[in-house]
Amino acid sequence: MDRVEIVEVGPRDGLQNLPDVIPVAERIAFVDRLIAAGLKRIEIGSFVSPKAVPQMADTAAVVAGIKRVPGLRLMALVPNARGASDAMAAGLDELEFVLSVSDDHNLANVRRTTDQSIAELEEVCTAIDPDKKLTLRFGLATSFHCPFAGYTEEARTLSVIERVLKIREGVEIALADTTGKAHPVNVRYLVEKALKTFGQSARFAFHGHDTSGFGIANVMAAYAAGIRIFDGAAAGLGGCPFAPGASGNIATEDIVNLFERMGVATGVDMPRLLEAADMAAEFPGAIPGSHSRLLPRQAA
């Protein structure tokens, strides 16, 4: 039986886009429900400036508060060496560094060119002890499409992959459809090339958004091209309050439903996942984007 690995990013990518700051106790309760659903990889928050992203303050307290189970790996987004150091001190198992393949998007986000971000990433990674049981993940935003520059050239994305793999082999690379405007042919071709060229040097994940309703189609395309690691957010959180329903992460429960219906194991307990998704959907200002949550719970 084929199986896939689901990375739940709701506690980070979902909650950081909510208008309000969710109290630490509720963040812990949310993560506990995700763990109860069998999710083994959870992006629990980020170690960024609490002034810039107050929603992600106190991520260390969230980590300290959740009930660990065997096999659980907690990931956090870290922007720099200090964030990496804080995350390791807090006991994180996986660190995610994000940079944009598109210069325009990277400049808008962090006021650096992609080249500058790659150089910084190299510095930060050099400072991290490679012997630790720490998973590094490089999240490549705008791998397929940029809100400013339109479709990203395949050659550009492949070149960025090549360069970040020179920093550290064996990492996980998340190809992100940041805008949700990648289409399935797009995804399939790029993923096939990436796996063919770099499949021996890295593990690849697909991180999509459901902006255009292409989320599940893109997951299928990435799966057909060989990816077996998929990011989702319970209830499809991650939407921008200024475009209701339009730009959330792909709902974890929709990804799980897809694979389970296809006979591909996810290790996730759907009824329990839906309990976590229900909680996520009720956070103030949440814009749920899930289909599976709306189905009759006893469906055939």
Q: How far is the CB of 279 from its own copies (least distance, A)?
A: 19
Scanning 85-93, 117-125, 216-224, 270-278 for contacts with its own copies by CB under 8 A, the matching segment is 216-224
125 with 134: CB under 8 angstroms?
A: no
By CB under 8 A, residue 292 contacts its own copies: yes
Which of the residues 115 through 154 are near its own copies (CB under 8 A)? 147-148, 150
Among 216, 234, 279, 281, binds its own copies (CB under 8 A): 216
Among 235, 257, 283, 286, binds its own copies (CB under 8 A): 257
Among 88, 95, 205, 219, binds its own copies (CB under 8 A): 219
Q: How far is the CB of 58 from its own copies (least distance, A)?
A: 33
Question: Which phi and psi (to 5°) does residue 138 adopt?
Answer: -105, 115
- Separation of alpha carbons 195 and 211, rounded Å: 25
Q: How far is the CB of 252 from its own copies (least distance, A)?
A: 12
By CB under 8 A, residue 163 contacts its own copies: no
Residues 6+ apart with CB under 8 A from 111: none
- Separation of alpha carbons 172 and 174, rounded Å: 7
- Separation of alpha carbons 58 and 202, rounded Å: 31
By CB under 8 A, residue 108 contacts its own copies: no
Strand blocks (E) in the chain: 5-8, 41-46, 73-77, 94-100, 135-141, 145-146, 150-151, 172-176, 203-207, 229-232
**Candidates 240, 243, 262, 265; catalytic one:** 240
Answer yes or no: 125 catalytic: no
By CB under 8 A, residue 261 contacts its own copies: yes
Count of residues that interact with its own copies, criterion CB under 8 A: 37
